[in-house]
Amino acid sequence: MRRGTNPLRPEEPTQDPRKADVDGDGLTLEDEEKVGTDPNNPDTDGDGVWDGDEVKRGTDPLRPETSADTNPPTVQISYEPANPTTDNQVTFTAQAWDDRELDRIEILVNAAMATTCYSSPCVYTGGPYPQGTVSYGANAYDRAENRAWTEYQYLTIAPYVSNSFDFDVFPDGTPIYGTTVLGGGEFSAWGLYFSAAPQGDYCAGAQAAVRVDVYGNYLSAALPYDLDSCAGTPVRIQFASPVRGVTIRFFGASVDYQLNAYDQAGSWLGGSSQQGELGQLREVTHRWADPVISYVEFGHQTAMTAIVEIIIER
């Protein structure tokens, strides 16, 4: 009775305040102190999951939980040069972006893995490739292994066309042994089309021709029914795509030979001249700042035209 308690009623045990769960998050004050959480805030890191649940899961209640990454990266791929030929290497460039963290980029060429990169951009140079079609594409992966794919894309490899042309063979390699009147498209594989360009009535029916004589093989003009006539007729050389400059190497008489350039609409772009000399190889050039020359006409009306080489600046 010294303590003033009721001897007929059992005493209730005194509650340890450190065992209390003040904020109702499933952690006692003692627990909160151990893990460093706020005893007055059930969700210390503000991620929507209560501190006690995070401790039960084994996750850190002081670090917000992130949702699962289900968003794939974005990826695109390009190549250069724009119009590759069998003489060019091709450079493929893949670029990728991810909203969290990019892991790697893969470039595939002709359905085979070409290279793997671990940063963007990813660059691969291959080839030269044979004439035909090349397939290419790129994969991009993020850290969660989400994948993005460009789908296969396709580029065309064109045959290489030299910038220098003579008249010993046709584009398919067939030798030219005798004077041959041209229909115009025999050299289209090289991007060249030939015709005669008579001025006035003289040799109005002439066509372009490859002549073979003591000067060798050269481009000139002739009548289909009289191969020995109309060598003194200018020749028109048309290009499959516009060029910047044209050089003509030729034999001729001792007269001024004119090289005139025209655009696609047939407008005159200017001209250059060079005097010929019997038995001597001469050269004349006309250039433009941009590739706008669609065709040229070269020669001298009534004086022999003998083009032995055409050099193009693209």
CATH of the domain at 83: 2.60.40.10
Paired tokens of 296: 């040229």
Determine the average pLDDT of the residues in 130-153: 95
182 and 301 belong to one structural domain: yes
pTM over 0.85: no
The confidence score (pLDDT) of residue 276 equals: 92
Looking at the 3D structure of the chain, how many domains does it have?
A: 3
- The residue with greater pLDDT, 66 or 292, is 292
180 and 221 belong to one structural domain: yes
Paired tokens of 143: 């850290």
Place of tokens 């229909």: 183
For the stretch 180-210, pLDDT in tens is 999 999 999 999 999 999 988 889 999 999 9
Determine the average pLDDT of the residues in 84-111: 94
Assess if residue 227 is contained within a domain: yes
> In whole numbers, what is the pLDDT of the chain averaged over residues?
89
Assess if residue 12 is contained within a domain: no
Residue 33's domain comprises: 17-57
- Structure confidence at residue 63 as a pLDDT band (50, 70, 90): confident
- The residue with greater pLDDT, 298 or 58, is 298
Alpha-carbon torsion (75, 81, 85, 91), positive or negative:
negative
On the question of pLDDT at 284 being above 90, the answer is yes
106 and 122 belong to one structural domain: yes
Paired tokens of 263: 């655009």
Q: Domain boundary at 157, 184, 210, which?
A: 157
Cis peptide upstream of residue 17 (ω within 30 degrees of 0)? no
Closest CA to 211 of 235, 237, 245: 235
On the question of pLDDT at 133 being above 50, the answer is yes
Determine the average pLDDT of the residues in 303-308: 92
- The residue with greater pLDDT, 50 or 261, is 261
Cα 298 versus chain centre, distance: 36
% of the chain surpassing 70 pLDDT: 93
- Other Cβ atoms within 10 Å of 69 Cβ, number: 15
- Structure confidence at residue 12 as a pLDDT band (50, 70, 90): low
Assess if residue 282 is contained within a domain: yes
Is beta strand 207-213 parallel, antiparallel or unpaired with respect to 180-181? antiparallel
Helices (H), 92-150: none
- Residue pair 305/232 in contact (Cβ under 8 Å)? The answer is yes
111 and 137 belong to one structural domain: yes
Q: Domain boundary at 157, 178, 194, which?
A: 157
Determine the average pLDDT of the residues in 216-236: 94
- Other Cβ atoms within 10 Å of 113 Cβ, number: 11
153 and 169 belong to one structural domain: no
The confidence score (pLDDT) of residue 1 equals: 46
* 46 burial level (CB within 10 Å; 0-12, 13-18, 19+): exposed
On the question of pLDDT at 137 being above 50, the answer is yes
CA-to-CA distance for 27 and 43, rounded, in angstroms?
A: 11
Assess if residue 307 is contained within a domain: yes
For the stretch 143-154, pLDDT in tens is 889 999 999 999
On the question of pLDDT at 4 being above 60, the answer is no
Assess if residue 1 is contained within a domain: no
The confidence score (pLDDT) of residue 59 equals: 77
